[in-house]
Structure 1
Amino acid sequence: MLWELEIRPLGKDGERERVCDEFDLLTHAERGGDLVSASARGFLLEGELTDEHRARLTQEVLVDPLVEVGEFAPVGTRTAHSYTVLLKPGVMEPVAQTVLEAVQLLGIPVTAVRTFRRYFGPPELPSLDRDVLFRKVLANDAIEHIVSGPVKADHLGFGAPYKFELRTVPVRNLDDAGLVKLSKDNTLALSLDEMKVVQAHFRDLNREPTDAELESIAQTWSEHCSHKTLKGTITFRDQSTGETRTYKNLLKETVFGATQTIRQQLGADDWCVSVFADNAGIVKFDDNFHICIKVETHNHPSAIEPYGGANTGLGGVIRDLLGTGLGAKPVCNTDVFCFAPPDFDSNQLPQGVLHPRRVMRGVVAGVRDYGNRMGIPTVNGAILFDERYLANPLVFCGTIGTIPCDKAFKKVYDGDLIVAVGGRTGRDGIHGATFSSLELTHESETVSGGAVQIGNAITEKKVQDVIIQARDRNLFTAITDCGAGGFSSAVGEMGADLGATVELDKAPLKYEGLSYTEIWISESQERMVLSVPQEKWPELQALCASENVEAAVLGTFEGSGRLKLSYQGNVVADLDMHFLHDGRPTVVKNAEWAPAQSVPAQPGTGAAQTPQDALVAILGHYSVCSKEWVIRQYDHEVQGGSAIKPLVGVMNDGPSDASVVVPVLGSWTGAAVGCGINHRFADLDPYWMAAAAIDEAVRNVVAVGADPKRVAILDNFCWGNIHDPKVLGALVRTAEACRDVAVAFGTPFISGKDSLNNTYTGKNGERLDIPHTLLVTALGRVPDVRKCVTMDLKEVGNTLYLVGTTKDELGASHFNLVTGRTGGTVPKVDLATAPKVFAGVHAAIAQGLVRSCHDLSEGGFAVAAAEMAFAGGIGADITALPGNLSDEAKLFSESPSRFLLEVKPEHAQAFEAALAGVTIARVGTTVSDPRLRVAGANGEWLLWVKLATLKEAWQKPLRW
């Protein structure tokens, strides 16, 4: 029998309020309350449930009696009219899965569970209201559907048994148009040149490919998996010099090349362990452990289904750590998001695009739930806002972990078993890798719903526990995660140098009906693939069983040089590994870059025309303001290793430059995590945008105590339509800056990821590219966390020092943004001076001479001083800003490589000695009065504002 348990809130109905607010936001009306009168959540449960069973479920398992009331009824018997939101068949339901496991442990005879949300309202709605309410507020078409009125069903099962049928795909006789159509219709994301190579290969074999073979090639050759643009041949014309340069492999000759140069310079002191060779980069940490880090993007799925996209983005990067070496233990997470402003005019939304507020809420919730449920602290991040991210939000998720020094490398051996560990396989994530390689359109929400997954953090936590134990018991020789492309990528990559035979019918499935190809390319979450010596399999199997983690032998790695797939004894694929991994034609592209026309600074038209107004406006800009609403949802204390938190200060609500964790408890050695990102500079010159991002990431970790000689960095390129030579040219110039700055700073890149074609084709065919965006993440070693400092002012009567040189660099600044001014010079990094600044600041911190330290970034000096003051609850008088610059430049220039530091008077002499050879200036003192005053060149106060006013401007915008 099928029952439904409807659970309503006692007291405040927060979900109803959310729905009404979102409807009103989208319609500019106040009618949401007329359409939805109440909300509920609930479960559909199948089983022969007695009164006692139902009472136990209500009282002990599914309802919180303090805030909810629950009532059972047979499905379809309730009379109040409602709109019930259900996940579409095949979409992962972690809550339903957990409930099913829990009630079965209690001995309650439930055989199937599904979750629902329910909203109560009138049976008839005006068509326009219904469309907005159903499609844009109550449900997401990509993964959910709505039942208006009673739910009518007699069972919860879905999926009919699969009847084997070998499918071949005719390609040998197709013309060019036919090849292009085949790629598009099947979401292969292969170019015409690539399709021609596939066609020629199978002509040579005198047969057609099977669907599994064609999908394997598409997954392996996808931009997401192979990074074919950045590894291809690019002819770059630099119009600023008239020079033409050709790169045979852009990544290898820039980002990778910088790291190789640095490692050669370090020689015997090289502290890099494994770079660009595994799922994450690894560097030395202490005598027993290395530390590793990876940052991923999950942009396209998050645009379609924000919660699921971000949820599995974080889950995926955690598995990258588990699949690094022989398995790393995650110790903390990071995230960076780029959204359109949350107050974006809903009337201007392109068709098929979710409102930025909904995207933001979903993304934050997705990252929150996964990290918190796995018990991994989220300690660092950033959020940027720009209307150009409207259709393509960016979601960066990172994880840092530790790995024993003797477990950093892996190897697959001939004869090892192919073992799948973790979650079952379903239809979620089909074509995820190839979908991420395409641009979005207004139809993506409908046609690519299968590319979106929902994660289950509890399953992944159990998988993590098994992997770490199995690693320490030497039960496997190699491991990787099932990410983009699923088994096709995981098994294909692990067996690339040998070969593999896979029996697809041995994979545990979530439900019946999956074809052999769907099993092969599914991106269902929480799965790892291990290479296991046959004699170790019984022990591994027993370990997995003891932790309630599924494990299955899918086949064998073998020295055949071929990838062989079978299903129920039928051969469904037989591919040459060399062709699969090395047969893709080289991508050849042209790129060009012309410098932006130099425009003198022009007066602004914005409301903020005085320095005080500008400071308040910048603090209140969405990109600068407090992200406490987000940070407080994350657990950044779990595991007990957080030394410097994301929020610091007297009230624990000031913006920390970076976070510091102690990865190995009991040690005083720490790891500082920071980031740098400023897409606005790329509007003027992507080279200096990249330089500024690296500089910001490094100075963020230096500001809290990291040794600049032991800072590793990661690159994440997110770009628009790279088929446009100008867009690609900006990427080339960015990569060149990465090379130059990394070598100058001695900061090696150890890992990275690119996400290209973040482009939206609107209903009328217009192309909307995201801004050129580079995220740089810095991982710094802190010799002694007891000497770390935070950015909040500490005491009255201390001296404030400005370290670094301020220049008239207001181009693309936040000052220009809030004042409406245009033109100006983009900030440029002095590659010779910056390392000296970092070294001097670190020396002063290490000697205990610094009470607080804050880097100067968005908003320049004025914003940094304001943040330090209101975070510490201590005022400041700034009386001697150096330089022959305008007052606006002194206050708001975003020149890089600068810090504002607080020093006790008795330490001033030693502090200045520690920074000998670096530009420093005494600029003011800390005072007891709770206000910030800054004097101009003529001695008059440019601004005089209470700290409470500054803090309120900073905290108010996202106080949701």
Structure 2
Amino acid sequence: MYSRIEVFFKDEIPDPLGNNIRSEIEAFNFSGVTNVRVRQVYIIFGNADKNVLDAIAQKLLVDAITQDYQILDFGHLISDFGHHIVEISRKPGVMDPIEQSVLKALRDIGINIDGVKTAQKYLIDGNISNEAIRSIATKVLANTKIEDIFIYPETPSYDHGNIQYSFKKQIIPLLHADNKQLEEISARGQLSLNLQEMLSIQKYFRSIKREPTDVELETIAQTWSEHCVHKTFKGIIDFGGKKIDNLLKNTIMKATSELNKPWCVSVFKDNAGIVHFDNNYNICFKVETHNHPSAIEPYGGANTGVGGVIRDVMGTGLGGKPILNTDVFCFGIPDTPLDNVPKGALHPKRIFKGVVAGVRDYGNRMGIPTANGAIFFDERYIGNPLVFCGTVGLIPKNKCQKDAHPNDLIVVAGGRTGRDGIHGATFSSAELHEQSEQMSGGAVQIGNAITEKALLDVLLQARDKGLYNCITDCGAGGLSSAIGEMGQDLGALVNLEKVPLKYEGLSYTEIWISEAQERMVLAVPPEKENDILDLFKAENVEATVIGRFTNDKILRLFYNFHLVGEIEMDFLHKGIPRLERKATWHRPVFEEPALPEKEDFGTDLKKILSSWNVCSKEWVIRQYDHEVQGGSVLKPLQGIHNDGPGDACIVTPVLGSKKGIIVSNGMNPRYGDIDPYHMASSAIDEALRQIIAVGGSLEQVALLDNFCWGNTNKHDRLGSLVRAAQACYDIAVAYGTPFISGKDSLNNEFVTDKETIVIPPTLLISAISVMEDVRNAVSMDIKAPGNLVYIVGLTRPELGGSHYYYIHGYKGNNVPKVDPVLGKKVMNALSQATKCRIVMSCHDCSEGGLAVAAAEMAFAGGYGMSLNLSGVITEGPIHRNDTILFSESNSRFIVEVRPEHQKEFEMITKDVPCGLIGKVTSEPFLKIHGLNNKLVVRENIYDLKESWQSPLRW
């Protein structure tokens, strides 16, 4: 038996959610809708009478000033006539954090009910057909992967019953299977294991003379997944006849090893990299990807991407405190026509909004500032968006090492285990296709930031009390990977029936591999069992002993005293066969444009400013909390109206200290179409110059790499990956900036019945730097009329992959390259100038080159500029104004200096290319004189700003 409470805004008060839905409907070109009102529905299970239901509504669910409510029973569901009515609710088994919060709140106020389910009810007015309403429901209102749709007069059915599970040990016939049957077993079980891996598994079980169980195969599949073990990077690659044995070890890790920086505390061996900060603390940093889940369910995928990387920091050493989030997204073009969206894929705008909301809600609810990031658009991300989520943490110096010990108890703490997240690791290791939503819907997790915040707070208490020896998060592979990794050198015994469940009906295998969120695994000394369980209970966080670590190097899984899995740890972690692949790369040749000379480039500048990859991301940024925890020094938006695009963020991890950290990123996928080596080089250079631009230095900068590529079984795609990795080694060593952590996500392709859409080779470089004195911070907005404007760095004729070529329909070939010797000299000189506090503002030249950087500085500061291109230092003579205006050469900065500091600044920069190109003016115009001293740009800064802000003014 159940009743319904429907909560809605009073008639005289506008419905903001309804108005937003109406605008979304219009954006998808559905006409005829005149009004939308939204009702939040709460289905209350149990024998609650009207008095109890009124109390629930009035005490908990309704804002009496702006909202009203209705109580309906089963027989009176259709309470609103004259509307099209659509109701959306979560599918059975899909976790809803609101339900959990309502249940807890009701218990807190002394009301006991059997259960709660939520739904959203949409009342849609207008002259619109039932067929259009169905399309609106599926394309705008609901995600059919995780939600059910009811269009009245359909009667919603709400399942509050539990699925019963009857134990049956599942044996997989593997010993006598032929090659085809082995591949079928892998495909049928969504194991994502290749034939060689299946043969290796078959050989192992033949050696112990028995068939495997389902949970044993699943454990191996999770552990051996590309997502977890990075087998492509660690394999043997034949690249042009040269054998590369472990690409990761010979590029990324090799750079770190050769640089051997003493401030690198822990690299490539924990959940996050750790660097030295001060006498009491270190800093940890990790960036993860959550691409495939975000393609299927954007909100949940991004939400749990953030939650997962936060847990990486919580599980680094003995536990770090998250102090900063960063995020970078890659989407299809937002205004893509509906007819151009592949079957099985969501519209890019739908993905965009869902991902942003997921990141926003998790970070804001956990009280972690989201202060750095970027967004890129390309039509090739349409079926496979990229979602990079990063977290920086603060960790005491004496809490950076961890080890589980024999006989330590295995404790799982935090959220309960459900069916969400099944096959997440293996799903992330395969290509997407139009059936992914049906086959892998269970791989999508739904997060609950409040649960994770409570877990974080109690974990930090337990850490400081020394109540556990080791900790890690339940990420990809769930308990399988977490316990498997912690017990790799020990062995483990796990009683799966003891794992707390969200609902009944899970099999032992589902319990073991579920990636349900907000869970951590701890190794607890037996003598501290009561202390840690009492602490967790006192803070209302669930913690349960589910087994112990042994000393026999065997993983044993039990379910109600039945042995369901037994695998040797050595085979689990070392038995995977090495991948051997061939890689090739041939430089493509694109048409080199012969654009006509022009006298005025104002229109071109506005087009670049309004292009998707350059335009303002303010709509996104303002949804994030940048101030929480009180450590923000330099935020994402800067200038007199706090809406100019900052280069990097600065925070003080320890309040009251003048010491800070700078976080930046670099990425430009379009360069990769021409040459992935120079794309990777430019990404590192961009991340570093952003640190320099805000007042930092190269003295202590660490890098993180995140490779997102297509199917590396294809020789050319693997070849481009090798070339990018080689650039990472070369440029990191030259700049003296080691890698401390990283992640790769391969097979980012979307297969349709007509074609395979491959993402562009995409490398995100994240950089973190320790700043000795945050009072040296420099923002990008110009400060005062009369100040001098310089360009520091060398400009080359490098328009390949540039935005200037892009707006004219070309790619070109002369992609920007990095000269790290010169670049390092330029950055060191500018760093010295900012330490002397003679730089008033600084902005790096990136997308759009000099012209875009100058325009952004001008409209952010509210002043004009008068510039002359003849002052730009170039490599050889450049005779075209457009080349100097829009070249995207690396290692360049626009710098504002007061006239009284001119001599000092020019003395500091005397050994690097540095040209005085103009000054700041009081009139609101950007004026740029060309090589012949004629005006080639004369634009009002507010017109430029409007071009920049208007595309994403949603």
Band the TM-score falls in, shorter-chain normalisation: over 0.9
- Percent of paired sites with the same residue: 51
- Between stretches 58-67 and 127-136, larger displacement belongs to 127-136
Is residue 889 of structure 2 the alignment partner of residue 895 of structure 1?
A: yes
CA–CA separation in structure 2 for the residues paired with 1:469 and 1:738: 39
The residue aligned with 2:637 is: 647
**Which residue of the other structure, out of 537, 541, 545, is the alignment partner of 1:549?**
541
The residue aligned with 2:736 is: 746
**Which residue of the other structure, out of 85, 104, 107, is the alignment partner of 2:110?**
107
Is residue 573 of structure 2 the alignment partner of residue 581 of structure 1?
A: yes
User: Aligned letter for 1:6?
Assistant: E
Is residue 872 of structure 2 the alignment partner of residue 873 of structure 1?
A: no
User: Aligned letter for 1:258?
Assistant: A
Is residue 375 of structure 2 the alignment partner of residue 391 of structure 1?
A: no
The residue aligned with 2:690 is: 700
Deviation at 1:602, TM superposition (A): 2.9
Q: Deviations over 1:395-416 (max 9, x none)?
A: 0000001100000110111110
- Between stretches 482-491 and 52-61, larger displacement belongs to 52-61
The residue aligned with 2:203 is: 200
CA–CA separation in structure 2 for the residues paired with 1:793 and 1:508: 57
Distance 1:124 1:146, change over 3 A: farther
Where 1:842 maps in the other structure, the secondary structure is: helix
RMSD: 1.8
CA–CA separation in structure 2 for the residues paired with 1:585 and 1:126: 58
Is residue 4 of structure 2 the alignment partner of residue 4 of structure 1?
A: yes
Matches within 5 A, 1:770-789: 770-789=759-778
User: Aligned letter for 1:132?
Assistant: S
Matches within 5 A, 1:41-190: 41-79=40-78, 80=80, 82-120=85-123, 128-149=131-152, 157-190=160-193
Matches within 5 A, 1:401-440: 401-440=393-432
User: Aligned letter for 1:257?
Assistant: K
The residue aligned with 1:734 is: 724
Deviation at 1:645, TM superposition (A): 0.6
User: Aligned letter for 2:227?
Assistant: H
Is residue 906 of structure 2 the alignment partner of residue 912 of structure 1?
A: yes
Deviation at 1:911, TM superposition (A): 1.1
* Contact persistence 1:350–1:763 (CA under 8 A): no
The residue aligned with 1:723 is: 713
Where 1:690 maps in the other structure, the secondary structure is: helix
Distance 1:183 1:610, change over 3 A: farther
The residue aligned with 1:849 is: 838
User: Aligned letter for 2:691?
Assistant: V
* Contact persistence 2:674–2:813 (CA under 8 A): no
The residue aligned with 1:250 is: 247
TM-score, normalised by the number of residues in structure 2: 0.97
Distance 1:76 1:450, change over 3 A: farther
**Which residue of the other structure, out of 503, 506, 513, is the alignment partner of 1:511?**
503
User: Aligned letter for 1:874?
Assistant: Y
Is residue 609 of structure 2 the alignment partner of residue 656 of structure 1?
A: no
CA–CA separation in structure 2 for the residues paired with 1:130 and 1:908: 66
Q: Deviations over 1:737-772 (max 9, x none)?
A: 0000000000000000000000111033x1110000
Where 2:951 maps in the other structure, the secondary structure is: coil
CA–CA separation in structure 2 for the residues paired with 1:156 and 1:547: 32
Deviation at 1:435, TM superposition (A): 0.3
Is residue 928 of structure 2 the alignment partner of residue 934 of structure 1?
A: yes
Q: Deviations over 1:234-257 (max 9, x none)?
A: 1112xxxxxx32111000100000
User: Aligned letter for 2:173?
Assistant: P
Deviation at 1:128, TM superposition (A): 4.7
Deviation at 1:101, TM superposition (A): 0.1
TM-score, normalised by the number of residues in structure 1: 0.96
The residue aligned with 2:264 is: 272
Is residue 675 of structure 2 the alignment partner of residue 710 of structure 1?
A: no
- Between stretches 149-158 and 281-290, larger displacement belongs to 149-158
CA–CA separation in structure 2 for the residues paired with 1:88 and 1:115: 11
Q: Deviations over 1:155-176 (max 9, x none)?
A: 7523233211101111112111
Is residue 258 of structure 2 the alignment partner of residue 261 of structure 1?
A: yes
Deviation at 1:916, TM superposition (A): 3.0
Q: Deviations over 1:201-260 (max 9, x none)?
A: 1122221100000000000000000101111111112xxxxxx32111000100000110
Q: Deviations over 1:565-588 (max 9, x none)?
A: 000000000001000000010011
* Contact persistence 2:32–2:127 (CA under 8 A): no
Deviation at 1:83, TM superposition (A): 2.2
CA–CA separation in structure 2 for the residues paired with 1:556 and 1:329: 27
The residue aligned with 2:298 is: 306
Matches within 5 A, 1:8-27: 8-10=8-10, 11-26=13-28
Deviation at 1:60, TM superposition (A): 2.4
User: Aligned letter for 2:143?
Assistant: N
User: Aligned letter for 1:887?
Assistant: N
Where 1:384 maps in the other structure, the secondary structure is: strand
Q: Deviations over 1:150-193 (max 9, x none)?
A: 68579752323321110111111211111111111111000011
The residue aligned with 1:488 is: 480
CA–CA separation in structure 1 for the residues paired with 2:911 and 2:536: 59
**Which residue of the other structure, out of 299, 302, 310, is the alignment partner of 1:318?**
310
Where 2:871 maps in the other structure, the secondary structure is: coil
Deviation at 1:17, TM superposition (A): 3.8
User: Aligned letter for 1:901?
Assistant: V
Matches within 5 A, 1:279-298: 279-298=271-290
CA–CA separation in structure 2 for the residues paired with 1:124 and 1:949: 39
Deviation at 1:790, TM superposition (A): 0.3
The residue aligned with 1:860 is: 849
CA–CA separation in structure 2 for the residues paired with 1:410 and 1:153: 51
**Which residue of the other structure, out of 344, 347, 353, is the alignment partner of 2:339?**
347
CA–CA separation in structure 2 for the residues paired with 1:301 and 1:66: 39
The residue aligned with 1:629 is: 619
Deviation at 1:40, TM superposition (A): 1.6
Where 2:344 maps in the other structure, the secondary structure is: coil
CA–CA separation in structure 2 for the residues paired with 1:870 and 1:126: 47
Q: Which runs of 5+ in 1 are unaligned?
A: 238-243
CA–CA separation in structure 1 for the residues paired with 2:564 and 2:127: 51
User: Aligned letter for 2:97?
Assistant: P
Is residue 224 of structure 2 the alignment partner of residue 214 of structure 1?
A: no
* Contact persistence 2:32–2:126 (CA under 8 A): no
CA–CA separation in structure 1 for the residues paired with 2:861 and 2:124: 50
* Contact persistence 2:292–2:384 (CA under 8 A): yes
* Contact persistence 2:330–2:387 (CA under 8 A): yes
Q: Deviations over 1:293-352 (max 9, x none)?
A: 000000000000000000000000000000000000000100000011111111111101
* Contact persistence 1:84–1:151 (CA under 8 A): no
* Contact persistence 2:591–2:810 (CA under 8 A): no
* Contact persistence 1:679–1:771 (CA under 8 A): yes
* Contact persistence 1:799–1:925 (CA under 8 A): yes
Distance 1:327 1:895, change over 3 A: same
* Contact persistence 2:600–2:935 (CA under 8 A): no
Is residue 807 of structure 2 the alignment partner of residue 815 of structure 1?
A: no
Deviation at 1:284, TM superposition (A): 0.3
* Contact persistence 1:288–1:404 (CA under 8 A): yes
Where 2:918 maps in the other structure, the secondary structure is: strand
CA–CA separation in structure 2 for the residues paired with 1:434 and 1:752: 19
Deviation at 1:139, TM superposition (A): 1.4
CA–CA separation in structure 2 for the residues paired with 1:191 and 1:123: 54
Distance 1:553 1:611, change over 3 A: same
Deviation at 1:137, TM superposition (A): 2.1
Deviation at 1:73, TM superposition (A): 1.4
Q: Deviations over 1:100-143 (max 9, x none)?
A: 10011101122211110112359998675355223222211110
* Contact persistence 2:33–2:125 (CA under 8 A): no
* Contact persistence 1:881–1:890 (CA under 8 A): no
* Contact persistence 1:315–1:370 (CA under 8 A): yes
User: Aligned letter for 2:317?
Assistant: G
Where 1:709 maps in the other structure, the secondary structure is: coil
CA–CA separation in structure 2 for the residues paired with 1:609 and 1:913: 35
Distance 1:850 1:37, change over 3 A: closer
